[in-house]
Structure 1
Amino acid sequence: MSDLPSDEEAMAAKRYTVMNIVRLASIPAVLLGIAIAQGAIELPYALGVVLAIAGLLAFFFVPALLAKRWKASDRGER
């Protein structure tokens, strides 16, 4: 038996990596948004709030949306 992953396993590993990169990139966005909103960084308060909320939404919802989209494309749906 070969130690090389199948095409399906390789695709699953890539998708898993993308989902985790999205989550890891969202964390600094949230922290930066909080820092701006708290006044630690001199930028508009509204920018900080928007950035923090966008980071939270990306952290919780984007990986699920990606997974749903990938499942649909695997089944041949749109």
Structure 2
Amino acid sequence: MTDPDVHVRNRYFAIVAARIGGSAGALLGLVLIARADATVPKVIGTALVLSALLMIAILPRALARRWRTPPGDE
């Protein structure tokens, strides 16, 4: 592979890792909510789920926008 191809592949893997990390965080929060008896762990689990969903929604798009090829460099 050429050098630009390696960078493109690594950026793709970073975007996929952000999505997988967010999904794992949301699952962890759901498990925490389901197993908690007290209110504080349920609140923490809910915050974790919401922040993970926000991460899934925003981070991959922000990374793709940051790494977009400028016009004319194609």
Same fold flag (TM > 0.5): yes
Answering whether residue 36 of structure 2 is matched by residue 36 of structure 1, we say: no
4+ runs of 1 displaced by more than 3 Å? Answer: none
In the alignment, the residues of structure 1 paired with residue 19 and residue 28 of structure 2 have an alpha-carbon distance, to the nearest angstrom, of: 15
Gaps of 5+ in 2: none
In the alignment, the residues of structure 2 paired with residue 52 and residue 16 of structure 1 have an alpha-carbon distance, to the nearest angstrom, of: 24
Percent identical pairs in the alignment equals: 25
Between 1 and 2, higher relative CO (CA 8 Å, sep ≥ 6) is seen in 2
Q: Over the residues paired in the alignment, what is the CA RMSD in angstroms? A: 1.7
TM-score, scaled relative to structure 1: 0.74
TM-score, scaled relative to structure 2: 0.77
Question: Which residue of structure 2 aligns with residue 58 of structure 1?
Answer: 55
Answering whether residue 37 of structure 2 is matched by residue 22 of structure 1, we say: no
Gaps of 5+ in 1: none
